[in-house]
Amino acid sequence: MDEEQRARRWFVALWTIVTVVKVAIAARLPLFVDEAFYWQEGQHLAAAYSDLPGLTAWLTRLGVELGGHHVLAVRAPFLLIAAVLPWLVARSAAHWFGAVVGWQAALLTVLMPLSGTLGLLALPDVPMALATVLCADAGARMLRGVDAMSATELALGLILGALSHYRFIGVIGVGLIALLWLPQGRGVLRDARVWVALAAGLLAWAPLLAWNLEYADAGLRFQLLDRHPWRFHGDGARFLLVQAALATPLLFWAMLVVSVRGIRGEGGGEGGTGPEWRYFALLGAVSTFGFFLLGFFADNERVSFHWTLPGYLALLPVVPLLLREWPRKRRLATWGLAVAGTVLMLGYYVAVSVPGLRLQAAGSKYYPENFAGWDRLAMEVEQARARMPEGTGLLADSFKTGAELGFALADARIPVLDHPLNRKHGRAPQLQLWGLQHDGRVSAPTLLVVGATDVKFSALLAHYQQLCSVVGPLPPPQAVNIDHGARRFLLFALPAARHSGACIPPAVAHIDVPQAGARVSRRFSVGGWAVKDGVGVTQVEVLLDGRVVATATDFTDNTWLQQFLKGGSRDPRMPRVQFEVQVDASGLPPGRHWLGLRLTGGDGSVETWAEQPVVLR
């Protein structure tokens, strides 16, 4: 009893701390791009959507209806589900392996970073995790005998999963494999009540199937074909390292050991002698190893590290049985690494939610651009519209900009141009259904908002050229550089009638020397290039912390740039677009400073380019 009370006290204490911290972070953390789009879907209620079944959008709508228009309200239903999840794991594990194991399994659910941070973001993985735990528990109960309670729990889990994500089909498949693997499981599948539960779960897919039938299988094609290369690539080799980091190394090793024992049919550890421990182990093993193999052929461009979570949630009820076999020092190290991992993950979200801390990552590949700058952009957009005629419309270049601006301005109907990102993320069909896919022809003054950092740099000029063909000649843009341009937007004040004449797109530039983050002496060279189609760049001012420290008006040849820029440049000065100047920073203190450019075009337009950090010695 003392061990049980101790385990329960540890769980309740850490669950309370983590839950409170998550709520505090969720109240400050800007919406992730996908969250903003799910909010937008929730403002257009439907049975299903192009990218997902309906549940995620319904939950965001429920949150804002009850809690008001706030990021915490959007995330509140997901935080609540995530808070309940460890208690369900405790209930399931305790039923089969005793109360101590139950509380320990629940504590592992809180401390494993992948599950411990669940609910911070309003994502479909949260209700899908709940559905997974319900189905896994129901399956284990059925191994000892099917009854109305277990069949109802299975049906509920299957319904929630079907309404959460296409990926839940994989969870169903893994569950069926685990049941067919075990003699007791094959007996379960002979019971009519199980098939009634399966039928209820199947009916829950009806809205999604109906949507796909009506719209030429657009959602299915995206999830199963368009987003996956389905050819071998080496990125799957990173699976073990990434998962070891997200589950913490010793806990990940423990889950692998349990998985292998489950496949081999070996003992599950002290107290793990019944079919239930092997059922949980098989669920986790088939899921984890399946995603490992899938990683060599499936989508390697978008985030997919969280796909393994359902398998881990099945393994956690069994892991404490294995930990009992380990030496005390290794057990303590396992718990300690789990705590450290969760602290680091929560610390990352804290850093992202605090502008001053987020700024420290500007100019590096770790900058969290999908979380950054939306409030600042909304403020700049409102100020720009105030300077334009009354009734000026708003037009976004992609679903990302449209959804995030929509939430910031409480407007779920911002029209969006056709953009590669809309198709890449499966959102284009939904935008068309809402009537928000815009052809670029405007009949009233319109402010066009373009995310310059949403396009691969080598394709940026081609993207501007494409904008010219869609909306016509572009006026000089207002640049909104967030966190020194790590996140960059351009605002174009489009007139009511399309102007005639050539379109002059924004300038594109790059600092070749010094590289971002480089340590430089007080006198150093700055070299790079700058192009502007149609008119060229006549002057490049080098800025250090916003002050002009050098000016370039003479340019030399750059012979490789035309091959680098997709579509090529129509700058009349090509190839004489390379510049180099000497900077004297002797009056500045040592440490980190920001190096930038101000570009003057041949038409007199002036644009401030993004900045990059340099360290003065």
Query: If pLDDT is split at 50, 70 and 90, which confidence band does 12 have?
Result: very high
Does 378 have pLDDT greater than 90? yes
If you ran DSSP here, which 8-state letter would residue 224 be given? I
Residue 360 has what pLDDT?
82
If you ran DSSP here, which 8-state letter would residue 445 be given? -
* Helices 328-353 and 249-264, axial angle in degrees (round to 10): 120
Q: Average pLDDT over the chain, rounded to whole? A: 91
- Collapsing DSSP states into helix, strand and coil, what is residue 63? helix
Q: Hey, which residues does 584 pair with through a beta bridge? A: 523
Find the mean pLDDT for residues 289-317: 79
Does 468 have pLDDT greater than 80? yes
Does 220 have pLDDT greater than 90? no
Does 312 have pLDDT greater than 80? yes
Backbone CA torsion sign across 263, 267, 268, 269 = negative
Return the amino acid letter for 123: L
Does 234 have pLDDT greater than 80? no
Torsion on CA atoms 20, 26, 29, 33, rounded to nearest 10: 150
Residue 593 has what pLDDT?
94
Torsion on CA atoms 581, 587, 592, 597, rounded to nearest 10: -30
Does 77 have pLDDT greater than 90? yes
Does 88 have pLDDT greater than 90? yes
Residue 271 has what pLDDT?
57
> Closest Cα partner for 124 from 53, 63, 27?
53
Half-sphere exposure of 33 (CA within 13 A, CB side): 18
Joined together, the tokens standing for residue 492 give 């174009």
Residue 302 has what pLDDT?
56
pTM of the shown model = 0.92
Residue 269 has what pLDDT?
61
Buried b / exposed e across 400-409, counting CB within 10 Å, b at 16+? bbbbbbbbbb
Using an 8 Å Cβ cutoff, are 423 and 218 in contact? no
Buried b / exposed e across 357-396, counting CB within 10 Å, b at 16+? ebbebbbeeebbbbbbbbebbbebbeebbeeeeeebbbbb
The span from the CA of 415 to the CA of 431, in Å, is 8
Residue 267 has what pLDDT?
63
